[in-house]
Amino acid sequence: MVTYLDAATAPLRNTGQIRLYDEEGFVGMRKACDLTARCLDELVTMVAPGVTTEAIDRFVFEFGMD
């Protein structure tokens, strides 16, 4: 049997129940996905031999903070 619960009141740990999100939750997910997609698009121009993971990490951090 599958059990459903509201995502807003769901516990942080995995219970095996399926979370149901409301429209506000989906708006936040779309915003996060858009930010991630734009960051990955920018990374394509940055990643090259000789570029350190530290430089990439710094770029991603600063991109997210802007």
pTM across the whole model: 0.63
For 40, the token pair is 């990955």
- Convert the pLDDT of each residue in 18-50 to its tens digit: 778 889 889 999 999 999 999 999 999 999 999
Is the pLDDT at 3 greater than 90? The verdict is no
Nearest to 43, CA basis, from 66, 61, 21: 61
So where are the chain's domains?
Answer: 4-65
Phi and psi angles of residue 10, each rounded to the nearest 5 degrees, phi first: -70, 145
Cβ count within 10 A of residue 50: 5
